[in-house]
Amino acid sequence: MVALIVKRVAKDFKDGDLVNLGIGMPTQAANYLPSGVEIIMQSENGMLKMGPAPAEKNPRVTNAGGQASSILEGGMFFDSSFSFGLIRGGHVDITVLGGLEVDEQGNLANWIIPGKLVPGMGGAMDLVNGTKKVIVVMEHTDKNGNSKLKKACSLPLTGAKCVNRVITELGVFDFENGKMKLVELQGEATLDEVKAKTEANFEVCI
Protein backbone atom coordinates (compact mmCIF):
# COMPACT_ATOMS: atom_id res chain seq x y z
CA MET A 1 0.00 0.00 0.00
CA VAL A 2 2.73 2.46 0.97
CA ALA A 3 4.77 1.62 -2.13
CA LEU A 4 1.74 2.30 -4.36
CA ILE A 5 1.30 5.75 -2.79
CA VAL A 6 4.93 6.86 -2.84
CA LYS A 7 5.55 5.55 -6.36
CA ARG A 8 2.67 7.72 -7.55
CA VAL A 9 3.88 10.87 -5.79
CA ALA A 10 7.34 10.44 -7.33
CA LYS A 11 5.74 10.84 -10.76
CA ASP A 12 4.91 14.44 -9.84
CA PHE A 13 8.58 15.38 -9.57
CA LYS A 14 10.23 17.15 -12.50
CA ASP A 15 13.93 17.37 -13.23
CA GLY A 16 15.48 20.14 -11.15
CA ASP A 17 12.61 20.49 -8.66
CA LEU A 18 13.52 21.64 -5.15
CA VAL A 19 11.60 19.20 -2.96
CA ASN A 20 10.99 18.88 0.77
CA LEU A 21 9.95 15.40 1.91
CA GLY A 22 8.27 15.13 5.30
CA ILE A 23 9.17 12.44 7.82
CA GLY A 24 7.66 8.96 7.53
CA MET A 25 6.02 7.84 4.31
CA PRO A 26 7.01 10.90 2.23
CA THR A 27 10.75 10.21 2.55
CA GLN A 28 10.31 6.94 0.65
CA ALA A 29 9.27 8.80 -2.52
CA ALA A 30 12.94 9.56 -3.22
CA ASN A 31 13.46 5.84 -3.91
CA TYR A 32 11.07 5.87 -6.87
CA LEU A 33 12.20 8.80 -9.01
CA PRO A 34 11.32 8.41 -12.71
CA SER A 35 14.24 7.60 -15.00
CA GLY A 36 16.22 10.70 -15.93
CA VAL A 37 14.70 12.87 -13.20
CA GLU A 38 17.00 14.43 -10.63
CA ILE A 39 15.56 16.52 -7.82
CA ILE A 40 17.23 18.65 -5.17
CA MET A 41 16.08 17.63 -1.71
CA GLN A 42 15.89 20.21 1.05
CA SER A 43 15.71 19.17 4.69
CA GLU A 44 14.24 21.79 7.00
CA ASN A 45 16.82 21.06 9.70
CA GLY A 46 19.43 22.64 7.42
CA MET A 47 20.51 20.67 4.37
CA LEU A 48 20.36 21.11 0.59
CA LYS A 49 21.01 18.24 -1.82
CA MET A 50 20.24 15.70 0.87
CA GLY A 51 21.07 12.14 -0.14
CA PRO A 52 20.01 8.63 0.92
CA ALA A 53 20.95 6.89 4.15
CA PRO A 54 24.62 5.85 3.86
CA ALA A 55 26.15 2.47 4.68
CA GLU A 56 28.35 4.16 7.27
CA LYS A 57 26.15 6.48 9.31
CA ASN A 58 27.36 9.81 10.61
CA PRO A 59 25.33 10.83 13.70
CA ARG A 60 25.82 14.49 12.79
CA VAL A 61 24.13 14.12 9.38
CA THR A 62 20.42 13.43 9.75
CA ASN A 63 17.16 14.40 8.10
CA ALA A 64 14.42 16.38 9.85
CA GLY A 65 13.14 13.21 11.48
CA GLY A 66 16.51 12.40 13.01
CA GLN A 67 17.20 9.52 10.63
CA ALA A 68 20.68 8.99 9.18
CA SER A 69 21.18 10.75 5.88
CA SER A 70 23.93 11.87 3.53
CA ILE A 71 24.69 14.95 1.51
CA LEU A 72 25.44 14.84 -2.21
CA GLU A 73 28.27 16.55 -4.03
CA GLY A 74 27.60 20.28 -4.25
CA GLY A 75 25.28 20.21 -1.24
CA MET A 76 25.42 22.49 1.75
CA PHE A 77 24.51 22.77 5.41
CA PHE A 78 22.93 25.90 6.89
CA ASP A 79 21.16 27.26 9.93
CA SER A 80 17.42 27.43 10.60
CA SER A 81 17.08 31.05 9.49
CA PHE A 82 18.44 30.21 6.02
CA SER A 83 16.41 27.00 5.85
CA PHE A 84 13.13 28.71 6.62
CA GLY A 85 14.07 31.64 4.42
CA LEU A 86 14.05 29.15 1.53
CA ILE A 87 10.66 27.82 2.60
CA ARG A 88 8.95 31.10 3.50
CA GLY A 89 10.45 32.82 0.48
CA GLY A 90 8.62 30.47 -1.89
CA HIS A 91 11.75 28.76 -3.24
CA VAL A 92 10.63 25.17 -2.56
CA ASP A 93 8.72 23.73 -5.52
CA ILE A 94 7.01 20.78 -3.81
CA THR A 95 6.53 19.59 -0.26
CA VAL A 96 5.21 16.10 0.44
CA LEU A 97 3.62 15.63 3.86
CA GLY A 98 1.71 12.93 5.68
CA GLY A 99 -1.82 13.65 6.83
CA LEU A 100 -4.24 12.74 9.58
CA GLU A 101 -7.17 14.46 7.86
CA VAL A 102 -7.79 16.52 4.73
CA ASP A 103 -11.18 18.02 4.03
CA GLU A 104 -12.99 19.00 0.85
CA GLN A 105 -11.81 22.62 1.18
CA GLY A 106 -8.16 21.55 1.11
CA ASN A 107 -7.59 22.09 4.82
CA LEU A 108 -4.89 19.89 6.39
CA ALA A 109 -4.63 18.43 9.90
CA ASN A 110 -1.44 16.47 10.38
CA TRP A 111 0.31 17.45 13.57
CA ILE A 112 -1.67 16.41 16.66
CA ILE A 113 -4.43 14.21 17.98
CA PRO A 114 -5.75 15.88 21.15
CA GLY A 115 -4.67 14.00 24.26
CA LYS A 116 -1.55 12.54 22.67
CA LEU A 117 1.93 13.83 23.40
CA VAL A 118 3.76 15.30 20.40
CA PRO A 119 6.86 17.52 20.23
CA GLY A 120 5.07 20.23 18.24
CA MET A 121 3.99 21.23 14.76
CA GLY A 122 7.56 21.67 13.55
CA GLY A 123 8.08 23.23 10.14
CA ALA A 124 4.85 21.92 8.63
CA MET A 125 2.99 25.21 9.13
CA ASP A 126 5.72 27.02 7.17
CA LEU A 127 5.89 24.38 4.44
CA VAL A 128 2.15 24.41 3.70
CA ASN A 129 2.14 28.20 3.40
CA GLY A 130 5.47 28.81 1.67
CA THR A 131 5.76 25.97 -0.85
CA LYS A 132 4.50 26.25 -4.41
CA LYS A 133 2.77 22.82 -4.37
CA VAL A 134 1.60 20.88 -1.31
CA ILE A 135 1.03 17.14 -1.75
CA VAL A 136 -0.39 15.03 1.08
CA VAL A 137 0.19 11.28 1.10
CA MET A 138 -1.81 9.09 3.46
CA GLU A 139 -3.92 5.97 3.74
CA HIS A 140 -7.50 6.57 2.66
CA THR A 141 -9.03 5.42 5.97
CA ASP A 142 -7.86 5.20 9.56
CA LYS A 143 -7.36 1.96 11.50
CA ASN A 144 -11.09 1.90 12.31
CA GLY A 145 -12.11 2.23 8.68
CA ASN A 146 -13.17 5.87 8.96
CA SER A 147 -12.45 8.14 6.01
CA LYS A 148 -9.51 10.51 6.40
CA LEU A 149 -10.95 12.65 3.59
CA LYS A 150 -13.52 14.66 5.53
CA LYS A 151 -16.30 17.12 4.86
CA ALA A 152 -14.55 19.24 7.51
CA CYS A 153 -11.45 18.46 9.54
CA SER A 154 -12.17 17.59 13.17
CA LEU A 155 -8.54 17.82 14.31
CA PRO A 156 -6.52 21.04 14.83
CA LEU A 157 -5.40 22.42 11.48
CA THR A 158 -1.85 22.65 10.22
CA GLY A 159 -2.93 24.91 7.38
CA ALA A 160 -6.13 26.26 5.82
CA LYS A 161 -6.95 25.67 2.15
CA CYS A 162 -3.31 24.79 1.52
CA VAL A 163 -3.46 21.34 -0.09
CA ASN A 164 -3.03 21.04 -3.86
CA ARG A 165 -3.11 17.25 -4.16
CA VAL A 166 -3.85 14.19 -2.01
CA ILE A 167 -2.61 10.74 -2.95
CA THR A 168 -3.97 7.62 -1.22
CA GLU A 169 -3.93 3.95 -2.12
CA LEU A 170 -7.33 4.44 -3.79
CA GLY A 171 -6.96 7.62 -5.79
CA VAL A 172 -5.47 11.00 -6.58
CA PHE A 173 -7.45 14.11 -5.66
CA ASP A 174 -6.77 17.69 -6.72
CA PHE A 175 -8.14 20.89 -5.18
CA GLU A 176 -9.10 23.64 -7.59
CA ASN A 177 -11.30 26.70 -7.08
CA GLY A 178 -12.56 25.43 -3.75
CA LYS A 179 -13.53 22.01 -5.12
CA MET A 180 -12.10 18.56 -4.53
CA LYS A 181 -11.70 16.49 -7.69
CA LEU A 182 -10.90 12.83 -8.19
CA VAL A 183 -8.46 12.81 -11.12
CA GLU A 184 -7.06 9.26 -10.99
CA LEU A 185 -7.90 5.85 -9.55
CA GLN A 186 -5.05 3.92 -7.97
CA GLY A 187 -4.28 0.24 -8.52
CA GLU A 188 -7.44 -1.87 -8.72
CA ALA A 189 -9.64 0.63 -6.88
CA THR A 190 -13.09 1.26 -8.31
CA LEU A 191 -15.10 4.46 -8.31
CA ASP A 192 -17.75 2.82 -6.12
CA GLU A 193 -15.09 1.87 -3.56
CA VAL A 194 -13.72 5.41 -3.49
CA LYS A 195 -17.19 6.87 -3.02
CA ALA A 196 -17.96 4.40 -0.21
CA LYS A 197 -14.76 5.24 1.68
CA THR A 198 -14.75 9.03 1.19
CA GLU A 199 -16.73 11.29 3.49
CA ALA A 200 -15.84 14.45 1.55
CA ASN A 201 -17.80 15.60 -1.46
CA PHE A 202 -15.81 15.45 -4.67
CA GLU A 203 -16.19 15.77 -8.41
CA VAL A 204 -15.22 12.88 -10.66
CA CYS A 205 -12.76 14.06 -13.33
CA ILE A 206 -11.40 10.81 -14.76
The catalytic site residues sit at 44
Q: State how far the Cα of 139 lies from the Cα of 35, in Å rounded to an integer.
A: 26
Q: Strand, helix or coil at 77?
A: strand
Distance CA 52, CA 39 (A): 13
Cβ–Cβ contacts within 10 Å for residue 88, how many?
Answer: 15
Give the three-class secondary structure for 15. Answer: coil
d(C-alpha 19, C-alpha 33), whole Å: 12
Determine the Cα angle at 56 with ends 53 and 60, to 5°: 75
